[in-house]
Amino acid sequence: MKIGFIGLGNMGAPMASNLAKAGHDVTGFDMADVVIEGVAMAASGAEAAKGAEVVITMLPNGAILRAVADEVIPAMEKGAALVDCSTVDVDSARAVAAQAAAAGVLAVDAPVSGGVGGAAGGTLTFMAGGSPEAFAMAAPLFDIMGQKAVHCGDSGAGQAAKICNNMILGVTMIATCEAFALADKLGLDRQKMFDVVSTSSGYSWTMNAYCPAPGVGPQSPADNDYQPGFAADLMLKDLRLSQQAAESADADTPMGQLAQALYAQFVEDEDGKGRDFSAMLPRFEQRGRE
């Protein structure tokens, strides 16, 4: 398949590389000067999109996605598919899908879970929104870049699934870190805390698979001085997207709103920038009740 790939950063580069290794004809474009084995580089997004059956984008935000769509959709052939793997606001995803439809181009919003390791290993999970026809066109590529793809519904549904999932993740991580900090101050051994909670009603992914306490549970960023597996900056971005969507949909999400405020304080006013989102634990350890 002839593929255009726009946005070759930490996530996009290994995804494009995996497609090329699988035998696809991949032409890439990025604002930075990058070299990826097996990927031909174009001088512009429109050039990368020209003649492609599928154009994949992996971009930082909705505003950049809309700008790229303005450039590449007119260069795409009718019946081709635009597959956006960025995590952006639902409104931008739906606006780009409508723009694509008006030009006779299929559109899929397919944000991912799995991080840089998942992108490199081809083990990402894709949450996809769009028509069944559009999803069917992208599905063989999802199989190469990831291990699972879920068709969540119409345009925007992929982004909705991603931000709802990550709102749960952000809220749950804060609760897990608060509980460990409280356990410390009550004199409860962290390993005993883990042994109880991980097999009781308080168990969660943040406790059982990504424990924020160093030396407890399976290996996690906490065991590497909180070097990011998933940066607090990115969690803040996703929580802001969740609250933007909640406002647009008139949804009451007080825990999501509070999680956004706490991660904003952690990243922008404290030492959270560039650290893993589980570094909330040492933050709470150092604080008393206000």
**Which residues are identified as catalytic?**
162
Closest to 284 measured CA to CA, from 181, 163, 158: 181
Contact, 162 vs 109, CB < 8 A?
no
Contact, 138 vs 128, CB < 8 A?
yes
Contact, 158 vs 110, CB < 8 A?
yes
Using CA atoms, how far residue 42 sits from 10, 45, 50, 66, in Å, is 19, 7, 10, 20
C-alpha gyration radius of the chain: 20
Residue 59: partners with Cβ closer than 8 Å, 6 or more residues away: 6, 7, 65, 68, 84, 86, 88
Closest to 202 measured CA to CA, from 175, 174, 184, 182: 175
Contact, 226 vs 199, CB < 8 A?
no
Contact, 110 vs 139, CB < 8 A?
no
Closest to 206 measured CA to CA, from 171, 164, 226, 176: 176
* Angle between helix 190-197 and 157-185 (nearest 10): 130
